[in-house]
């Protein structure tokens, strides 16, 4: 498992993300890369939903949206559920950038597996699909059984590790 942890750590490191997409001629900061990736995968969403997915605050999301809006990659559209709210949406240019991320990722994998035999590549794909299935199943089960504890009063340490 140490190897998987190391791979995840390398692949999600901000400088690594920026360097990988730079191979496709895209110069974006890691937060912008992350936002475009989420919008490409999940479609338009409220800034509050982006903040939650990106594990950051509303202020940071606003700054990233402003930078991407200024560069023509995102715009705001009315929320069909609530006319008072807006959704952050990828523009055509934003979708092109998201596709460049896919090309960058494909190129990365090709470089990493360059010296692997066809059988090794096939086995990796088979095992990753199996790991993905197990992960999704476990994640669904874990989330279904997870309940958040009720907020306690300040100073209440019952059940807390001392």
% pLDDT > 70, the chain = 91
- Average predicted confidence (pLDDT) for the chain: 91
Section 35-54 average pLDDT:
97
Section 120-134 average pLDDT:
96
- In this predicted model, what pLDDT tens digit does every residue of 80-101 receive, in sequence order? 999 899 999 999 999 999 999 9
Cβ 38 vs Cβ 50: under 8 Å: yes
Cα separation, 105 vs 145, in Å, equals 34
pLDDT at 34 over 80: yes
Q: What is the pLDDT of residue 147?
A: 72
Q: What is the pLDDT of residue 162?
A: 43
Please give the DSSP secondary-structure letter assigned to residue 79: -
């Amino acid at each position: 498992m140490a190897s998987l942890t190391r791979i995840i750590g390398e692949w999600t490191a901000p400088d690594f993300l920026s360097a990988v997409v730079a191979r496709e001629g895209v110069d974006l900061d890691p937060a912008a890369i992350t936002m475009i990736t989420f919008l490409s995968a999940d479609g338009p969403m409220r800034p509050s939903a982006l903040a939650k997915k990106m594990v950051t605050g509303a202020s940071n999301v606003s700054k990233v949206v402003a930078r991407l809006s200024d560069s023509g990659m995102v715009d705001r559209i009315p929320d069909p559920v609530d006319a008072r709210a807006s959704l952050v949406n990828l523009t055509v240019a934003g979708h092109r950038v998201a596709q460049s991320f896919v090309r960058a990722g494909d190129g990365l994998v090709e470089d990493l597996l360059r010296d692997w035999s066809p059988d090794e590549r096939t086995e990796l794909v088979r095992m990753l699909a199996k790991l993905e299935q197990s992960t999704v199943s476990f994640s669904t089960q874990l989330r279904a059984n997870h309940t958040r504890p009720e907020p306690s009063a300040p100073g209440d340490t019952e059940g807390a590790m001392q």
